[in-house]
Amino acid sequence: MTPPKPEPRAEKVSLFTHLRLFRRDILSAQPARLYRAWMAEFRTPFFESYLCNDPSLVRLVLDERPADFPKSDRVTEGLAPLLGRSVFVTNGAEWQHQRRIIDPAFEGGRLREAFPAIWAASEAAVARMGAGEQEVELAASHAAADVIFRTLFSIPIEDRVAQAVFHEFRAYQRSAPILNLAAFLPLPRWMPRLHRRTTRRSASVIRGLIAGLTADRARAIAAGTAPEDLATKIMTTPDPVTGQGFTTDEMVDQVAIFFLAGHETSASALSWALYLLATHPDAQERVAAEAAGLRPEFGTLGSLRYTRDVFREALRLYPPVPMMVRETVQAETFRGRAVRKGAQVVISPWHLHRHERIWDRPDEFDPDRWAGEGRETAREGYLPFSRGPRVCPGAGFAMLEGTLMLAHLVRAFRFDAVEGRVPVPTAHLTVRAKDGIWLRVARRDGA
Ligand code: HEM
């Protein structure tokens, strides 16, 4: 069965219709030709936008001259009430300083240290899941939030503050759908920016809770009683260039983005991976066979190759971050077209991952492609974690988490599709199913 893909819009529509479609969902607002084109231009009286699928343009923007294609304030301001000056929204020297402090916390060796916490969260996810027909995105969100709390602050999701943050994040997401529109069709600068009142309220509750956790941790570090986790590592690492670390306030901004970037994305990928396995029972049995040999030690990942390829393939078909937006700071020439200063540049993992001139059978679920031609093709057309200096710092962490969670869940349960409930992908903060992902869950014999 070919995994679901949103119905593209008609090739020619009016600007008004396009705006209306964008507001509803950026994926179905695009015409089918974007799965074949190397570049698409979109011009209105207010702005110019270029969606770039040409691998050499993607390289230019993300790897070769990223400083010339920063994130624009117009795009990130929608997130400001929640994220403040976090690494996700900053540019230039401020951003470099932040990455120099954050990156060491996610290096290879640290992943090994995070393994026991991710293992414990996977076991907890299995224990929480019951049999029967259910919506699995919620369970995946719960599990991914648990991973973040355990690895960052050494507390499980059952903790009172962790629960409160988790619930407020859900409220935040429900009240922030406007983000799509603001991000991809920047309004003229003179238009007032209205953050919904509920969004602002949720953002301030979340930040208050995180501020409490961060202040407690600062005290524990000072007293020499802090656990060795990601928060301690980040709060005690000075920038090797300037010698400055994060203040407690700055740390609140960074923690907010770890929660947002780290839990929503992982939850989205895990839910789609479960759906793909439910609709491809042979693949599911292969994962179950691999997972039978799970051991609570880092080396166990070496025996989960197929499971990892399933997760990779889920990230290809349903990249949690479907599009990334940058801005030109000077005039450029893209594929012979003059691009003016201040134009928008959209890099779309969604289209690249299903590009008909890059991938063989682009819409089919085939984890085995990763043992063959997939790796080569990925150089041109696979960037679920972005690329270049602004690559997701949590990429290795997320691959470890996704593989381990999937193996745990499939070892314990069998997942089947529910008739009549085919999920329709749609872009919220991440790629989600319009009415959730419903699966029938049954405990495996002997689990
Ligand atoms: C499957 C899971 C994940 C996916 C698909 C993902 C994807 C991405 C992508 C595409 C970006 C670049 C966005 C842009 O440039 O506009 C990004 C940035 C980021 N991600 Fe992830 N991410 C995942 C998990 C995580 C985790 C687990 C963490 C941390 C615990 C994390 C932290 C971040 C941060 C801090 C940034 C901002 C980096 C910067 O701008 O310099 N992500 N992520």
Cβ of 27 below 6 Å from ligand 1: no
Q: Point out the least confidently predicted range of 8-17, 125-134, 341-350.
A: 8-17
Cβ of 385 below 6 Å from ligand 1: yes
Crossing angle of helices 160-175 and 136-153, rounded to 10°: 130
Cβ of 317 below 6 Å from ligand 1: no
pLDDT in tens, 58-90: 999 999 999 999 998 776 777 788 888 999 999
Q: If you measure from the C-alpha of residue 320 to the centroid of ligand 1, how many angstroms do you get, rounded to a whole number?
A: 10
Q: If you measure from the C-alpha of residue 118 to the centroid of ligand 1, how many angstroms do you get, rounded to a whole number?
A: 18
pLDDT in tens, 277-327: 999 999 999 999 999 999 999 999 999 999 999 999 999 999 999 999 899
Q: What is the mean pLDDT of residues 164-182?
A: 69
Q: If you measure from the C-alpha of residue 336 to the centroid of ligand 1, how many angstroms do you get, rounded to a whole number?
A: 32
pLDDT at 57: 98
| Number of the ligand 1 atom closest to the C-alpha atom of 325 | 16
Cβ of 257 below 6 Å from ligand 1: yes
Higher pLDDT, 9 or 100: 100
The model's confidence at residue 264, banded by pLDDT at 50, 70 and 90, is: confident
Is the per-residue pLDDT at 182 higher than 60?
Answer: no
Nearest Cα residue to atom 7 of ligand 1: 385
Q: Give φ, ψ of 236 to 5 degrees.
A: -115, 5
pLDDT at 17: 63
pLDDT in tens, 112-166: 999 999 999 999 999 999 999 999 999 999 999 999 999 999 999 888 888 888 8
Cβ of 37 below 6 Å from ligand 1: no
pLDDT at 32: 85
